A and B are shown apart, each in its own frame.
Chain A
Amino acid sequence: MRPILLSGHERALTQIKYNPDGDLLFSVSKDQQICVWYSHNGERLGTYKGHQGAIWTVDVDPTSTFIASGSADNTIRLWEIKTGRCLKTWDFPTAVKRVEFSEDGRQLLGVTEKRMGHLGTIVVLDVILEVDAEQSDERALTIVCDESKATVAGWSYLNKYIIAGHEDGSVSQYDAKTGELLDNVPVHELNMQVTDLQWSPDRTYFITASKDKTARLMAARDLEPLKTYVTDTPLNSACITPKKDYVILGGGQAAMDVTTTAARQGKFEARFYHKIFEDEIGRVRGHFGPLNTVAADPTGKGYASGGEDGYVRIHHFDKGYFDFKYEVERERERENRL
């Protein structure tokens, strides 16, 4: 497997995202550029210029027409993918740490930081899926997180719930229509922040990554914990691979903590766990710093990782990846054939 290295950013990556067809890869970093790449060969298609601060998050709409980005300059911006044009800027009192389009692309949620007397909020914006349409300034919904600020959030299946991960390690479920808090479950260790939340392809379950060195798979409907993946390093990101039943976890000792730990060799790796058996089945090394973000190609052919070292690495899986099966899986296949 030969990774493609993308060196379009000058600072640490914060999020990378594939579009639904898996041919484009969007990357944002703490330098104020959004880059879009062709995932098959690593060619850069363009950059989106306009943000005045570190960009924390990016998301693609289901039709691959728009992207939304959230930044430390207290704005969410909507861009046209094809031309790099900024279509709309929404202003907020604090930095935006997470954006995500709903399943149909008509709504956009943003998670704002708790700072300067403002509480952390989750806002929902209506988006008109036309390039030249006048986007509304109005917030369709504002959820205030008064207990612990939300760090990540996402839309469940059919836009029924908004699931948010919090700084205190809990995960909550909100009604996406009314913004009512339906449930709050302490999933990760107390005060170990949830660093990432990514969905299964059908959005019925999701994976959370946390600083408590575990990743958890949970059902969106009732927040039932399904699986736990235990690692030996704080996690920054986790994703679920389509086609094969694996999860990819990324993490590593944060640079500021390196001096306080003894041997941290070999922790800057993407770890592959079997989604069902919870075993670690492989690692991919390559980054020189912690992995801040991992993303699985929706077509299942590869994955990409973005690190604190400023590089994005796109990997296309070899045949061995697709052929790997547990002995029990093989046995069952044999039985089914008979």
Chain B
Amino acid sequence: MASKNRDWADDDEGDDVAVELPPPQTIQNKDGTKTTITYRYNENGQKVKTTRRIRLVTHREVVNPRVAERKTWKKFGLSEKDGAGPQMDTTSVGENIIFRLSTNWRKDTKEEAKDPNANAMKEKLKDKTVKCRICNGEHFTARCPYKDTMAPVGAEGGSADVAAGMGDEPAPNAAGAAGAGKKGSYVPPALRGDRGAAGGERMGGGKYGSERDDLATLRVTNVSEMAEEQELRDMFERFGRVTRVFLAKDRETGLAKGFAFISFADRSDAVKACNKMDGYGFKHLILRVEFAKKAA
């Protein structure tokens, strides 16, 4: 408890040591403890008040007299010159081992071995099944073998689910193409209305979804020109599921403009990412990460 915070530069030693210290105090507390207050000067000449609360507990232990006698024996052999107590060169303390006896320890250790993050994800997805929007197979839409040749099943009906959520990256494109009736052609925003309404609820955080969650969106600035969306996604995916990555690019040159938006499925992940990634060095630049402000 330094009395004041002094700059080290104007510190000259032994300046005010001469000032008298208050005498140490001892107070007997009601609960059987004692409080002692002592004052001293530290090496910077600052006055330090130390308050100690002491509880005296008498712990009685019965020691086998033979064992006690052996503890007084003189060391011999290679340890002859060693001082009292364990020596550094022969004795060290190992890392803490968690040792729990259990009848099904085999199962327990297996679970522990896994990364807790992966576990949390697994928990979340436990009762969800993966279903492809194109062929209804048990895989992500992005992994579908027919994704280049077939339109999604019931794209208009909007029955496909994003159960597992992952791999919804190419989905908007596919859905958008279906909405326009022709694959790969541009659909002007004005004409996307019907599709937006149909697909809105099925893709809450979709790329063009109108109700994207600004609460879990981070604005990343000072991004290198050379950055790619995928790199950002990889970087931020560590903290949780990323639903959207938008990296502003120059139309002419194709180089990044220096800012990006990252949306997370979960706000807590976004908070984690914001804390961790702010100030992260990426391609010679220091990233600045903050929560995106709601678009006016």
Q: Which residues of B contact A49 (CB under 8 A)?
A: 77-78
Asked if A219 is at the interface (CB within 8 A of a chain B CB), the reply is: no
Rounded to whole Å, the gap between the CB of B286 and the closest CB of chain A is 41
Instruction: Give the distance in Å from the alpha carbon of A4 to the alpha carbon of B92 in the complex.
Output: 6
Residues in A with CB closer than 8 Å to B99 are: 1, 282, 284, 315, 317-318, 320-321
Q: Which residue of B lies closest to A24 (CB)?
A: B70
**Chain B residue at smallest Cβ distance from A244:** B101
Digitize A32-49: 1 where CB-to-B-CB distance is under 8 Å, 0 elsewhere.
Answer: 010001100111111111
A37: nearest chain-B partner, CB-CB: B91
| Contact of B103 with A326 in the complex, beta carbons under 8 Å | yes
A43: B residues at CB distance < 8 A: 85-87, 91
**In the complex, residue of chain B having the shortest beta-carbon distance to the beta carbon of A266:** B109
Once the chains bind, are A281 and B91 in contact (CB under 8 Å)? Answer: no
Give complex CA distance A23, B70 in Å: 9
B77 CB → nearest A CB, Å: 3
Q: Could you tell me if A324 and B102 are in contact, using CB atoms closer than 8 angstroms?
A: yes
Chain A residues with CB below 8 A from B79, complex form: 44-47
Q: Which residues of A contact B75 (CB under 8 A)?
A: 44-46
B89-122 interface bits toward A, Cβ cutoff 8 Å, 1 = contact, 0 = none: 1111111111111110110010000000000000
Q: SS class of chain B's interface: helix, strand, loop or mixed?
A: loop
Is A21 touching B64 in the complex (CB atoms < 8 A)?
yes
Q: Give Cα A281–Cα B107 distance, bound, in whole angstroms.
A: 11
| A211 is an interface residue with CB less than 8 A from chain B | no
Given A43-B87, A47-B79, A64-B66, A2 contacting B93 (CB threshold 8 A): yes
The complex places the Cα of A246 from the Cα of B105 at a distance, in Å, of 15
A1-45 toward B: CB 8 Å interface, digit per residue (1/0)? 111111110000000000001011000000001000110011111
B78/A281 in contact, CB under 8 A = no
A272 at interface by CB-CB < 8 Å = yes
With contact pairs A43-B87, A84-B76 given, residues A280 and B94 touching in the complex (Cβ less than 8 Å): no
Whether B278 sits at the interface, judged by CB under 8 Å, is: no
B80 at the interface (CB under 8 A from A): yes
Chain A positions 301 through 315: 1 when the CB is less than 8 Å from some CB of chain B, otherwise 0: 000000000000101
Alpha-carbon distance A4/B90, docked complex (angstroms)? 10
State whether the Cβ of A283 lies closer than 8 Å to any Cβ in chain B. Answer: yes
A282 touches B100 (CB 8 A): yes
Residues of chain A lying within 8 A (CB to CB) of residue B86: 4, 41-44
Q: Which residues of A contact B30 (CB under 8 A)?
A: none
- Is B190 part of the contact surface with A, judged by Cβ < 8 Å? no
1/0 per residue, CB under 8 A from A, across B55-83: the answer is: 00000000010110011010111111010
Q: Of A1, A82, A281, which is within 8 A of B105 by CB?
A: A281
- CA–CA, A281 to B75, complex, Å? 39
Complex: chain A residue closest to B66, CB-CB: A21
Residue pair B92, A5 in contact (C-beta under 8 Å): yes
Q: A7 to B90, Cβ gap below 8 A?
A: yes
Measured in the bound complex, the distance between the Cα atoms of B89 and A23 in whole Å is: 21
Cβ-based interface call for A286 (8 A): yes
Chain A residues within an 8 Å CB radius of B91: 4-7, 37, 41-44
Query: Contact: A3 with B76, CB < 8 Å?
Result: no
Docked CA distance A285–B76 (Å): 32
**A2 touching B101 by the CB < 8 A rule?**
no
Q: In the complex, what residues of B have CB within 8 A of residue A38's CB?
A: 71
- Contact check, B94 vs A324: say whether CB atoms are below 8 A apart: no
Residues of A within 8 A of B76 (CB): 45-47, 83-84
User: In the complex, which residues of chain B have a beta carbon less than 8 angstroms from the beta carbon of A42?
Assistant: 86, 90-91, 93
Nearest CB of chain B from residue A180's CB, rounded to whole Å? 37
Residues of B within 8 A of A5 (CB): 91-94
Q: Given the complex, which residues of A lie within 8 Å of B85, measured CB to CB?
A: 41, 43
| C-alpha spacing A48/B78, complex, angstroms | 8
Are B97 and A3 neighbours in the complex by a CB distance under 8 Å?
A: yes
A280-303 residues with Cβ-Cβ distance < 8 A to B are 280-286
Kindly list chain B residues whose C-beta atoms are within 8 Å of the C-beta of A84: 76-77
**CB-CB < 8 A to A146: which residues of B?**
none
Q: Choose from B70, B80, B93 the contact partner of A4 (Cβ within 8 Å).
A: B93
Nearest-neighbor residue (CB-CB) of A320 within chain B = B100
B66 touches A3 (CB 8 A): no
> A279 within 8 Å of B by Cβ?
yes
- A24-B70, A45-B73, A280-B106 known; A1 and B97 CB under 8 Å? yes
Q: Which of A64, A282, A286 contacts B94 (CB 8 A)?
A: A286
Q: In the complex, what distance in Å separates the CA atom of A272 from the CA atom of B73?
A: 34
Interface centre among A24, A37, A83, A282 (most CB of B within 10 A): A282
Residue of A with least CB distance to B96: A2
Q: B89 to chain A: which residues have CB within 8 Å?
A: 7
Given contacts A3-B94, A44-B75, A84-B77, list 19 more A-B pairs with CB under 8 A: A1-B96, A2-B95, A8-B78, A33-B77, A33-B78, A38-B71, A42-B93, A44-B78, A44-B90, A44-B91, A46-B79, A47-B79, A64-B66, A246-B101, A282-B99, A286-B97, A315-B99, A324-B101, A326-B103
27 contacts between A and B (CB under 8 A): A1-B99, A3-B97, A4-B94, A5-B91, A5-B93, A5-B94, A6-B91, A7-B92, A8-B78, A21-B64, A42-B91, A44-B75, A44-B79, A44-B82, A44-B91, A45-B73, A46-B78, A46-B80, A47-B76, A47-B77, A49-B78, A280-B106, A282-B101, A284-B97, A320-B100, A324-B102, A326-B103
By a beta-carbon cutoff of 8 Å, the part of chain A in contact with chain B is 1-8, 21, 23-24, 33, 37-38, 41-49, 64, 82-84, 246, 272, 279-286, 313, 315, 317-318, 320-321, 324, 326
The 3 closest A-B pairs by CB, nearest first: A47-B77, A46-B76, A324-B101
